[in-house]
C-alpha cells in the first residue's frame, strides 16, 4: 500500500498524541493452534517528531500497523489517531495519514513524475503537489527517469512522495530501509528527519534498532506483541545503565580473571582488548561500571591500562537486556 487516503480532511483535534493504543490484541490460527501476534499492546506516539516502533521480526509491528489502518481487524483493544477512534472513525481522519506498509507498486516504464501524476489523479490530490513532493524527497532532478532505472533508495523515496501527496500530518513507514545500501539508508533517514522537522509525525517500524536510534526522538520497544519500554531515546538509554567499557592491557587473560573476581562481567574482543560491564562476579558480587574501580583493581595487582574507553548502551543492547530473561525475540513462523 503506497498511500492511505480518504474522502475528506478532518479538523485537527487537541491531543498530545498522534496515536494512542490500549490493550490491542490479535491472534492468528496456525497449524499449531492460535498464535498471539499482538498481546495486549499499549502504545503512545507523541504528535510531532520521529517515533521508532522497534522490535525483532515477528514481534507484531506490522500486524499492529495494519490494524491501525483498518487493513485487518483487531480481536480486542482501543485505537485512536489524532483523537478519532479507529477503525470506526477512520474515514474522518484518513486524509491526515500517509503510509507505506507494503512493497510500493509503480509502473516500471513510466517516469517517477508520471507515476505520481497517476496516483494523484486516483486519490484526488492536487496536480501541483506532484512537483512539491518530488522536491521534498529529493527526486526533482530524476523525476523524468523511468521507475525501473531507479535505485532501491530512490524507489522508496518515490513511495514516500506518494504518501505525501495529500499533505498528511502522520506518516507511517514499515521497515522503510529493508534491502537498502548504506547510501540509501542515509537518504531515507534524512527524508524522515526532514519531514519531522517540518512539523509532521513520523512513525517508523524497524527491527534494526541501532539504525532508528540515529533519527528517532521517541521510541516504543516491543517483544512478542507487548510493550517492553517507551519514552525519549535519551531516557531509555540512560535507564539502560552505563553500558560497557573497552579495556586495553598487556595481559588480558589475567586482567579478565581479576575483573571477574571483582564483580565485573568480562568478555574478550577480537582485537585482544576486553569488554567490561557491570555484572555479578565470583568474588565481591555485582560491581558498578566505574572506570576508577576498574583501574584500581588492575593497578593493585601490578597491571596498567593502555586504553579505557567507556561506551554508552545503544537501543539494541537495551533491547537485549530487556528480553534476556523472557526470550521475547522473534520466533520462526510468527506473524510480523
Please choose, from the candidates 154, 164, 73, the residue with its C-alpha nearest in 3D space to the C-alpha of residue 116: 164
Q: What's the confidence (pLDDT) of residue 131?
A: 97
Work out the percent of the chain whose per-residue pLDDT is above 70: 87
Q: What's the confidence (pLDDT) of residue 318?
A: 79
3-state class (DSSP) for residue 174: strand
What average pLDDT does this structure show over 90-109? Answer: 92
Please choose, from the candidates 188, 170, 133, 185, the residue with its C-alpha nearest in 3D space to the C-alpha of residue 51: 170
Q: How far apart are CA 179 and CA 252, in angstroms?
A: 39
**DSSP secondary structure of 211-253:** HHHTT-SEEEEEETTEEEEEEEHHHHHHHT-S-EEEEEES-HH
Contacts 24+ apart (CB under 8 A), 324-329: 326/223, 328/59, 328/223, 328/224, 328/228, 329/56, 329/58, 329/59, 329/223
Q: How far apart are CA 225 and CA 227, in angstroms?
A: 7
Q: What's the confidence (pLDDT) of residue 282?
A: 40
Contact 111, 143 (CB under 8 A): yes
State the maximum Cα–Cα separation within the chain, in Å, rounded to a whole number: 76
Could you tell me the three cell numbers for 304? Answer: 596498567
Could you tell me the three cell numbers for 285? Answer: 558480587
Contact 258, 301 (CB under 8 A): yes
Average pLDDT over the chain, rounded to an integer: 87
Q: How far apart are CA 71 and CA 57, in angstroms?
A: 19
CB-based contacts of 1: which residues, under 8 Å, 6+ apart?
A: 69, 71, 99, 100, 101, 102
What average pLDDT does this structure show over 192-206? Answer: 96
Q: What's the confidence (pLDDT) of residue 94?
A: 94
CB-based contacts of 186: which residues, under 8 Å, 6+ apart?
A: none
What average pLDDT does this structure show over 174-180? Answer: 91
Q: How far apart are CA 163 and CA 274, in angstroms?
A: 47
Structure confidence at residue 8 as a pLDDT band (50, 70, 90): very low
- Three-state SS string across 272-324, please? CCEEEEEEECCCCCEECCCHHHHHHHHHCCCCCEEEEEEECCCHHHHHHHHHC
What average pLDDT does this structure show over 8-36? Answer: 80
Query: CA gyration radius for the chain?
Result: 24
Q: What's the confidence (pLDDT) of residue 279?
A: 67
What average pLDDT does this structure show over 296-322? Answer: 86
Could you tell me the three cell numbers for 316? Answer: 539494541
Q: How far apart are CA 311 and CA 260, in angstroms?
A: 19
Structure confidence at residue 315 as a pLDDT band (50, 70, 90): confident
* Residue 328 or 263, more confident: 263
Lowest average pLDDT, out of 50-54, 55-59, 194-198, 223-227, goes to 55-59
Write down the pTM of the prediction: 0.78
Model pLDDT for residues 47-99, shown as the tens digit of each residue:
999 999 998 888 999 999 999 999 999 999 999 999 999 999 999 999 999 99
> How many residues make up the chain in this entry?
336
Q: What's the confidence (pLDDT) of residue 323?
A: 65
Q: What's the confidence (pLDDT) of residue 179?
A: 87
Contact 28, 35 (CB under 8 A): yes
CB-based contacts of 133: which residues, under 8 Å, 6+ apart?
A: 116, 161, 162, 164, 165
Model pLDDT for residues 234-269, shown as the tens digit of each residue:
888 877 655 688 899 999 999 999 999 999 989 898
Amino acid at each position: 500500500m503506497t498511500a492511505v487516503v480518504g474522502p475528506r480532511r478532518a479538523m485537527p483535534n487537541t491531543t498530545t498524541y498522534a496515536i494512542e493504543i490500549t490493550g490491542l490484541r490479535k491472534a492468528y490460527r496456525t497449524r499449531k493452534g492460535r498464535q498471539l501476534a499482538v498481546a495486549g499492546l499499549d502504545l503512545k506516539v507523541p504528535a510531532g517528531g520521529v517515533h521508532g516502533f522497534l522490535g525483532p521480526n515477528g514481534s507484531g509491528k506490522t500486524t499492529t500497523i495494519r490494524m491501525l489502518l483498518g487493513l485487518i481487524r483487531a480481536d480486542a483493544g482501543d485505537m485512536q489517531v489524532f483523537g478519532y477512534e479507529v477503525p470506526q472513525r477512520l474515514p474522518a481522519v484518513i486524509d491526515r495519514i500517509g503510509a507505506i506498509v507494503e512493497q510500493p507498486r509503480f509502473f516500471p516504464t513510466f517516469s517517477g513524475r508520471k507515476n505520481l501524476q497517476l496516483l494523484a489523479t486516483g486519490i484526488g490530490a492536487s496536480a501541483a503537489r506532484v512537483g512539491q513532493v518530488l522536491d521534498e524527497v529529493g527526486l526533482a532532478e530524476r523525476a523524468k527517469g523511468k521507475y525501473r532505472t531507479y535505485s532501491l533508495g530512490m524507489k522508496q523515496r518515490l513511495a514516500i512522495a506518494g504518501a505525501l501527496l495529500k499533505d498528511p500530518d502522520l506518516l507511517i513507514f514499515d521497515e522503510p530501509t529493508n534491502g537498502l545500501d548504506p547510501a540509501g539508508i542515509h537518504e531515507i533517514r534524512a527524508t524522515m528527519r526532514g519531514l519531522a522537522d517540518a512539523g509532521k509525525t513520523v512513525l517508523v517500524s524497524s527491527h534494526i534498532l541501532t539504525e532508528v536510534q540515529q533519527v528517532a526522538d521517541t521510541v516504543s520497544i516491543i517483544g512478542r506483541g507487548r510493550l517492553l519500554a517507551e519514552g525519549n531515546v535519551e531516557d531509555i538509554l540512560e535507564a539502560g545503565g552505563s553500558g560497557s567499557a573497552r579495556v586495553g592491557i598487556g595481559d588480558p587473560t589475567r586482567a579478565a580473571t581479576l575483573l571477574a573476581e571483582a564483580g565485573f562481567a568480562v568478555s574478550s574482543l577480537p582485537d585482544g582488548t576486553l569488554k567490561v560491564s557491570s555484572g555479578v562476579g565470583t568474588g565481591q558480587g555485582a560491581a558498578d561500571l566505574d572506570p576508577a574501580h576498574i583501574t584500581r583493581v588492575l593497578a593493585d595487582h601490578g597491571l596498567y591500562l593502555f586504553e579505557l574507553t567507556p561506551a554508552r548502551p545503544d537501543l539494541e543492547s537495551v533491547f537485549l537486556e530487556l528480553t534476556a530473561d523472557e526470550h521475547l525475540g522473534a520466533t520462526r513462523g510468527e506473524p510480523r
